Structure 1
């Protein structure tokens, strides 16, 4: 039986995952943490020291909660947080989980309040990220953001209250909540799952609980729920949290001088004021009262603070509400034509439609008025108190109190406007209800508002030449100001007619209008100038048309924008660029594009032809590379390159892949590598090998080092792969990339937003400079409102604005999945680091000499030993040298590329299997990902027991919060396992037996698999790995007979063949950027 208090959350899951705004990677997170729950535990004796307890459901060791909090960024890595026990009402672990409940004592992480709030406000709650945390964590993160916002806006008040043991406590508390903030609070309460407030109410105060624990340390860890068991209501607990955060943060922010205990001889202020200030800033909130007179201080302070601490905030079921009614719409105005009427009402908090007018209150002698299921306690006292407080603010209400039992008050037009524009918003800040006719509200239809129409002739709209990627920022578009009334645009004559009335509230053509005199004066100034029509920068006009709003100089807030003429046509093309003017696959493309890739080619071509930069953000494995290669070829065949080359910038780990893919799919293009110590040192040497369309390949590090050289060349195409490498807009690397001149700009990434929306700004600032405004403007208009406050309006404007230039398809899209093969294999070519190349060459030189002087079994042993050594060197120097895993990053091309790809797997919410032949390498991978992803990747190898192996497989297949990948040794994990939850299979090192590798791949790709599976085979270019792969590919049909015994066949090769096989190739790629940088 669920305890009392559960009824109002009926149908809500105990604790699940939330939804958000934009699809992105979780902030500082590497996997799902949906079993991590949060519950606030207040303290009545020390208000600012209530704590958020983090625990897991189903219950598990606190180690998981600690790692989850560190990965989410709420807890600093390496810090050991305090733990404690908390009594919560949770589902009984039975099959029927949501009907049987019990009180359980759980181990939990309990963090100091200020530290926790600072971590929670940084938590990314956008779509994708929000889906990685539970609803309770998400709800408390939203509450933390709200608490900080209230403090920042000064909505706090100091109080003196009676506490336990006849003490008087000083504390800070949140004040009245505005209507908008109250609505946010209501949404938080509705979103709060039971897990977020399942605290037993009679034992809710942490300080009170401690005494009982000392008296009864041997009580049962679990006990049944009874009819008397109650839990905290979410609204009351969230309000207690807001007050606790206000108290804790104000104390921490107080200057140290304020914390000095007042001396008795200090006469600067009255003694009680000094002691109150001290109790508000010191760690101990106890106020030392002196004498009988000071015993009344809590009541006096409460009376002083009452205007900003209404009873509704203390849990009252209703609020006093003031309703403005139009002239001639109320019987009270029958004898006063043209007068407005302000009616006094009581309104139920949980059902705004339940109202009790003042006349009904005065006519009832009951201490409680019942309306259906709603109870209005002490209505006379509450109404009179509110009228008295409101009368001090608004004269007409005070005037009405001269009449016994007032039901409302008549207002003049000026008084009605004062109520709408000034008094009403203040009352709402005090938590008082305000009802205004819809047509006169700020969001109503019958208000005069400014509208901007953009369009007309565009200069330089073709997008040709160097101005293209900047959208012709120097060219112009026409604009025209208009005044709108609802859905009707006013003519200049109609506007002058309304303005001539000189009244804030006017009845015009049968409609009541609210005309803010200040806004009207600004509008008249606009229309009085000659600037009602004019021109603006084309990029600004397009941005305004896409988002549907324009901020201008801020005088009118967000102004509605309507597109006309060529701007409207251009916006339509932008929004449907994937489907209009299909671009055929170029004749010189040596391959075949799938239907969704053909649409991607069309989108890339159409947008860049219009002069815009683009961001292709398809999921990993959907073929971003070949779509761009096809576009390059298509432009070459259309003679769009001219005499200028293209430049592609990518991480070193994928440089070789790009070169191979370009030569494979576009042999007509000339590929020039600008990398390494022997790279071109001048523009002339960089350009001398050009003849046919040329693409220059370089890396981010080289682009930064050679920014001056590369910046002297005008590029026909500038492509940046793994564009998240410029996500930090202030970095030298990002600035260098953005400074490169190019006619067409392309950003490729699978994760356009990883942690912060400013990363999206940085990528689109590269693609379309200036389009999203300055970084400061972007933070103010979008990043802060969306990330901190969950502003859906700002998110929608950003989606409309940025979405036109980002093409994002995921593997589960219906238009994509039907085009995908069930299994897709690709080879990932990696580079050697300088350290690896040195070790590799030394091993070859040393062992080949011994092989040439050996025979028989000794020769075979030397060959296999060399092969093993070279494979270990290709894996990682620490694997070959048997080093402790102290420094793993940046020493292996393979590990660098695997880490990059795993970041994308995690960002997409996928799961992976990582196979290696060697347990030692598996241990190194386990250590590396523990450090970089913050999670323990389970490792199945020969030393894992059958039971342990079964539990790892079960967790991987069934648990939503399991690790994103499994490490498996090829022998122990290559057969007999069903791991269909995985959609990626990585072969970190190769067995060189296709049958064995296919058997391992089939752990994911087998009966029961309903997802597309991608297989990634890692090969180090120019080494024995690439050469053996080429041999196997040339004999694929005979693979079983030729290499059926694994690597033994290599021992039959002669000395010359072995030297060719083991020696580094001339084109071996060596990553020495760390030394260059």
Structure 2
């Protein structure tokens, strides 16, 4: 069947051949060849016997290698050049003797048949491999240049194999390796003693370029640049280098030729791409010294994950254990760092676990916004009850003379940014083991009063926590990293230029998607070293997360809130128990509870139309909500905010619109059905970040709002089912992300009593009716106990730091 197919193809091709007219009688060798070509279409002709016989013999010998079983074969070998020589191409004959032999000895073999077979195979090979047709001192041995060698390795070699020849040539790869700068450091030993350690350690440095496992110095690159087709061996394969890459490599080495000594800090900056443009990403660092060991420890042998220490209540997820290992790595290296895990991934318990394990090393100062100070206190008690935690905050805090003694007896001292600025002199006098700043975007403006004052508090280690390390640009990241490691990453503009791709020649960071891409590239460059970045979008982390995450946020009370709260309670105690009508007494209590809840929300929620002052700086809950909104918008996500008070919801929406710079609607029962439907449709169709305020009565059930994956319960209700329904507006079929639900609570107030009920710790009757069956039976002391402020639990602050930072 194969013969039939081949014959049909040949006949069809011959029929298309334009040949000369058939010679009636071919008498010479030339005429016979012409007659054969003309007769391929099947036309007969006559020929003289001798030339016809000779041509037939030649055709038979030409076809014999592929039409008969060959006893003699040829092997093509290509040897790489020695130093500067060419490639050696040799042909060996097999089957002539027991071992392969070169062509000339094979052609001289006594066996005429074998010699003819070698000759026939060689002629066929020469037609396929042009360099063999060049004159040379020995037949079958020729020097080829890099172009011919590359052609043989990447193309012709396969054709030779298909033609039946054995080919022994080096392996090649058409994928060009990207050149990368390499810095080799050798730490100096100081005369008469040990050398400086850490960021100030000096090292002798040598520069080179690496391509895979191949290292090239400037002289080798210059030599390769002179070749028409520069070939090098990388990872066991020959590859072709690009002249453009060689030129760039030569220029990079020339720029650094004069740099022969560097400090540990400078080597570290080179390693993460902060010291000028590089060829293929961050510079490879080899050798010895503090910076080399640091980079190698973060990249080649990342820290082992650490499980929760003894005394920690609960377990850490895998990524939290990795973060713990990174925190220990920082302590060992004498560095600070930025723990930049997404909101909801558990930064606080991760750090608490680390503080628990290292509490014997000295006290830690934790500085937070007022809105999350209570969270730290509550989370510390929940996860590490053995930690000695002291709250340095409010009018009752210890004075400067006693602070150092109090800190020495504590494992953790909690304070706010505002208090830390006011007490900076006293705090700076304490020997802290580390300083932790939560919601570190607060110090993203390095020239702000808060940022400048906090830098005055010394500590061997500084840790910054934030879910949004880059909100407005790379300058935010620089401010945080420079706070944790002063001076280590160099000047702000150089940091921004290099990590944004400006290479030192630009002015400012890129915008839009380019800005986002450069920010992620910067985080990748620093990740595992000075930054520990994890996001909910990472598949490994998403697989660990539950479908929904509940977070309890303890919020501060401003002086205005505390004053109004106490006034309402005093009025209730004066009027409520003395009312003669039981229904009136009950109504007084219920009205007071509503008023107290409104005051916890914001003074304006209680005062209503009487209040026309700005909302900012007057409520701890609002301050915390604005922080959450800022983080959600920085992540490009969306949020639902539920409140029981529709009028307050409208003012809240107006305030959030001012903060975010985009329209924020309030969904409540006073709107027409058409208006409510339009609000939902617009929010679901949003592209990019957004926030929607809803009345929990109107929007707590029946709606599908899967465009949001953050839910804030701004105020609490006695029935947990109502709150579950509100949260389930986002956590339902169609939701692609984990839903994070924040419950805002003012500790020490009626808010906390509601939280106890919702959490199932107490029954509603036990809360306010210890021995009665009606609200009307409550006495003054019972009301005070049930609804009054607990001074030991309340967090009060006038939020001066928050206001200052917002203005900055």
TM class by shorter-chain length? 0.5 to 0.7
Q: Work out the CA distance in 1 between the residues paired with 2:478 and 2:371.
A: 25
2:640 is aligned with 1:910: no
2:425 is aligned with 1:730: no
Report the counterpart of residue 846 of structure 1 in structure 2. 571
SS across alignment from 2:442 = helix
- Per-residue CA distance 1:357-411 (angstroms, 9 max, x = gap): xxxxxxxxxxxxxxxxxxxxxxxxxxxxxxxxxxxxxxxxxxxxxxxxxxxxxxx
Q: Work out the CA distance in 2 between the residues paired with 1:1043 and 1:1001.
A: 27
- Aligned-residue offset at 1:699: 1.5
2:805 is aligned with 1:1064: no
2:549 to 820, 824, 829: 824
Report the counterpart of residue 660 of structure 1 in structure 2. 378
SS across alignment from 2:534 = coil
Report the counterpart of residue 745 of structure 1 in structure 2. 462
- Per-residue CA distance 1:928-974 (angstroms, 9 max, x = gap): 112111222222211122222223223323x1338722222122112
SS across alignment from 2:453 = helix
- Aligned-residue offset at 1:833: 0.6
Tell me if structure 2 keeps the 8 A contact 1:993–1:1043: no
1:456 to 186, 191, 207: 186
SS across alignment from 1:894 = helix
Q: Residues 540, 996 of structure 1: CA spacing in aligned structure 2 closer, same or farther, 3 A cutoff?
A: same
Q: TM-score, normalised by structure 1?
A: 0.50
Equivalence map 1:431-446=2 (5 Å): none
Q: Work out the CA distance in 2 between the residues paired with 1:910 and 1:859.
A: 47
- Aligned-residue offset at 1:475: 2.3
Q: Residues 633, 919 of structure 1: CA spacing in aligned structure 2 closer, same or farther, 3 A cutoff?
A: same
Tell me if structure 2 keeps the 8 A contact 1:875–1:892: yes
Q: Residues 1066, 764 of structure 1: CA spacing in aligned structure 2 closer, same or farther, 3 A cutoff?
A: same
Q: Work out the CA distance in 2 between the residues paired with 1:539 and 1:949.
A: 58
- Aligned-residue offset at 1:734: 1.3
Tell me if structure 2 keeps the 8 A contact 1:477–1:537: yes
- Aligned-residue offset at 1:787: 2.5
SS across alignment from 1:479 = strand
2:287 is aligned with 1:570: no
Q: Work out the CA distance in 2 between the residues paired with 1:485 and 1:975.
A: 61
2:585 to 859, 866, 869: 859
1:630 to 353, 376, 380: 353
Tell me if structure 2 keeps the 8 A contact 1:585–1:630: yes
- Aligned-residue offset at 1:560: 5.6
- Per-residue CA distance 1:955-1004 (angstroms, 9 max, x = gap): 323x1338722222122112222223321221111121122222222222
2:649 is aligned with 1:922: yes
Q: Work out the CA distance in 2 between the residues paired with 1:865 and 1:544.
A: 65
- Per-residue CA distance 1:18-39 (angstroms, 9 max, x = gap): xxxxxxxxxxxxxxxxxxxxxx
Q: Work out the CA distance in 2 between the residues paired with 1:509 and 1:978.
A: 63
SS across alignment from 1:617 = strand
- Aligned-residue offset at 1:561: 5.0
Equivalence map 1:132-151=2 (5 Å): none
Report the counterpart of residue 32 of structure 2 in structure 1. none
- Aligned-residue offset at 1:1072: 2.7
Tell me if structure 1 keeps the 8 A contact 2:436–2:463: yes
Report the counterpart of residue 595 of structure 2 in structure 1. 869
2:323 to 600, 603, 609: 600
SS across alignment from 2:481 = helix
Q: Work out the CA distance in 1 between the residues paired with 2:229 and 2:519.
A: 36
SS across alignment from 1:536 = strand
Report the counterpart of residue 343 of structure 2 in structure 1. 620
2:438 to 721, 741, 759: 721
- Aligned-residue offset at 1:509: 10
Tell me if structure 2 keeps the 8 A contact 1:839–1:873: yes
2:323 is aligned with 1:610: no
- Aligned-residue offset at 1:895: 0.9
Tell me if structure 1 keeps the 8 A contact 2:304–2:325: yes
SS across alignment from 1:739 = coil
Tell me if structure 1 keeps the 8 A contact 2:181–2:284: yes
Q: Work out the CA distance in 2 between the residues paired with 1:796 and 1:826.
A: 27
Q: Residues 609, 559 of structure 1: CA spacing in aligned structure 2 closer, same or farther, 3 A cutoff?
A: closer
- Aligned-residue offset at 1:1073: 4.3
Tell me if structure 1 keeps the 8 A contact 2:272–2:282: no
- Per-residue CA distance 1:104-154 (angstroms, 9 max, x = gap): xxxxxxxxxxxxxxxxxxxxxxxxxxxxxxxxxxxxxxxxxxxxxxxxxxx
Tell me if structure 2 keeps the 8 A contact 1:832–1:874: yes
Q: Residues 1029, 768 of structure 1: CA spacing in aligned structure 2 closer, same or farther, 3 A cutoff?
A: same
Q: Work out the CA distance in 2 between the residues paired with 1:691 and 1:681.
A: 15
Q: Work out the CA distance in 2 between the residues paired with 1:514 and 1:864.
A: 80
- Aligned-residue offset at 1:610: 2.2
Q: TM-score, normalised by structure 2?
A: 0.66
Q: Work out the CA distance in 1 between the residues paired with 2:577 and 2:626.
A: 39
1:588 to 280, 304, 311: 311
Q: Work out the CA distance in 2 between the residues paired with 1:1042 and 1:603.
A: 45
SS across alignment from 1:868 = helix
Equivalence map 1:374-773=2 (5 Å): 453-457=183-187, 472-482=198-208, 489=215, 535-547=261-273, 550-551=275-276, 562-565=285-288, 567-575=291-299, 580-636=303-359, 639=360, 641=361, 644-682=362-400, 684-690=401-407, 694-773=411-490
Bigger Rg, which one: 2
Tell me if structure 2 keeps the 8 A contact 1:590–1:664: yes
- Aligned-residue offset at 1:908: 1.8
Q: Work out the CA distance in 2 between the residues paired with 1:450 and 1:995.
A: 59
Q: Work out the CA distance in 2 between the residues paired with 1:520 and 1:974.
A: 66
Q: Work out the CA distance in 1 between the residues paired with 2:531 and 2:494.
A: 21
RMSD: 4.1
Q: Work out the CA distance in 2 between the residues paired with 1:874 and 1:512.
A: 68
Tell me if structure 2 keeps the 8 A contact 1:956–1:963: no
Q: Work out the CA distance in 2 between the residues paired with 1:827 and 1:792.
A: 31
Q: Residues 1051, 991 of structure 1: CA spacing in aligned structure 2 closer, same or farther, 3 A cutoff?
A: farther
Point out where structure 1 has 5 or more consecutive residues left out of the alignment. Answer: 1-443, 461-466
- Aligned-residue offset at 1:667: 1.8
SS across alignment from 2:721 = helix
2:710 is aligned with 1:984: yes
Q: Residues 838, 524 of structure 1: CA spacing in aligned structure 2 closer, same or farther, 3 A cutoff?
A: closer
SS across alignment from 1:719 = strand
Q: Work out the CA distance in 2 between the residues paired with 1:515 and 1:1002.
A: 56
Q: Residues 1002, 723 of structure 1: CA spacing in aligned structure 2 closer, same or farther, 3 A cutoff?
A: same
Q: Work out the CA distance in 2 between the residues paired with 1:916 and 1:606.
A: 44
